[in-house]
Amino acid sequence: MRQWAAFVKKEGLELLRSGRLFLLLLLFCLVGVMNPAMAKLTPWLMGLVSEQLAESGMMVGEIVVDAMTAWTQFYKNMPIMLLVMVVMFGGTVVVELQKGTLIPIVAKGMKRGRILGAKALSAAAVWTGGSILSFAITYAYSAYFWDNGIAAHLFFGAFCFWLFGIWLLSVFLPASSFANSTAAVILTVGICFAVSYVLGLIPAVKSYSPAYLLESLPLLTGEMTTGDYTAALCVTAGLTVFHMIAGVWLFNRKQL
């Protein structure tokens, strides 16, 4: 436990001193503010372009924005943050292997699984903290400007997206053992995303794919209920656990 805590502390210190934590939290805040801001600005933006549109024969009617517009923005912007997370954390193990910084640590008798555990925890913690930050800011502004009541299952929808993020980030655990560069790890994460996305297009299996968790709009409008996501949630959680186990198994066998 102390070994693990020591490495977690090191990860935290690295995030803090490299400025990555600050940058990420800043971006999460920015996204949080942008969601309602974009919604608020939409009528004004449309007003600006309406004349040009009118010239080409298109008429802009009255635009109604409400909390739903802000939440739609939330689900459009958060994938960008997930991508940023993948890029920032994709190299966390591989870079250390390349530099050789893990060698003195492992030679000290550090259990390899604990290294991965600490890395996974720091990525998960940043993703969780960042998601909460974005969600809370969007929630607060939407409540101030409009009424969050029109969007159903707000918390559950955000939870689904959060879990999808955790699953996608967990891919770097096994990928770091067989990929030799940050780019290869990110590529592996990309492939996993693509596979789950394609599976999400096939009607027969779509409700089991992790990508199904991204379909939040029907949830917000109340077309679907939380029960519809059970299968995808179970599969995603199961795969995440599998990635962790496979990651440790592979890492224990990796020649350093």
Pick from 41, 106, 191, 241 the residue near another protein by CB under 8 A.
Answer: 106
Q: Nearest to residue 246, comparing CAs of 170, 189, 188?
A: 170
Q: Nearest to residue 6, comparing CAs of 146, 129, 108?
A: 108
204 near another protein, rule: CB under 8 A: no
Q: Which runs of E-coded beta strand occur in the chain?
A: none
245 near another protein, rule: CB under 8 A: no
Cβ 62 to another protein, closest distance in Å? 54
Cβ 114 to another protein, closest distance in Å? 9
Distance CA 241, CA 219 (A): 26
Cβ 254 to another protein, closest distance in Å? 9
Which two tokens mark 85? Answer: 């997370």
105 near another protein, rule: CB under 8 A: yes
CB–CB of 103/43 below 8 Å?
A: no
Distance CA 152, CA 40 (A): 20
Binding piece for another protein, criterion CB under 8 A, among 5-13, 129-137, 152-160, 202-210:
5-13
Cβ 133 to another protein, closest distance in Å? 24
Pick from 109, 149, 203, 227 the residue near another protein by CB under 8 A.
Answer: 109
Distance CA 103, CA 109 (A): 10
Three-class SS state of 22? helix
Distance CA 17, CA 21 (A): 8
Pick from 14, 63, 191, 223 the residue near another protein by CB under 8 A.
Answer: 14
Cβ 9 to another protein, closest distance in Å? 7
Which backbone phi and psi does 80 adopt, to 5 degrees? -65, -40
Cβ 104 to another protein, closest distance in Å? 6
9 near another protein, rule: CB under 8 A: yes
225 near another protein, rule: CB under 8 A: no
Burial class (CB within 10 angstroms; exposed 0-12, middle 13-18, buried 19+) of 29: middle
Distance CA 82, CA 103 (A): 30
Cβ 174 to another protein, closest distance in Å? 16
Binding pattern for the stretch 40-79 against another protein, x by CB under 8 A and - elsewhere:
----------------------------------------
* Residues at the contact surface with another protein, assessed by CB under 8 A: 2-3, 5-7, 9-10, 13-14, 17-18, 99-101, 103-112, 252-253, 255-256
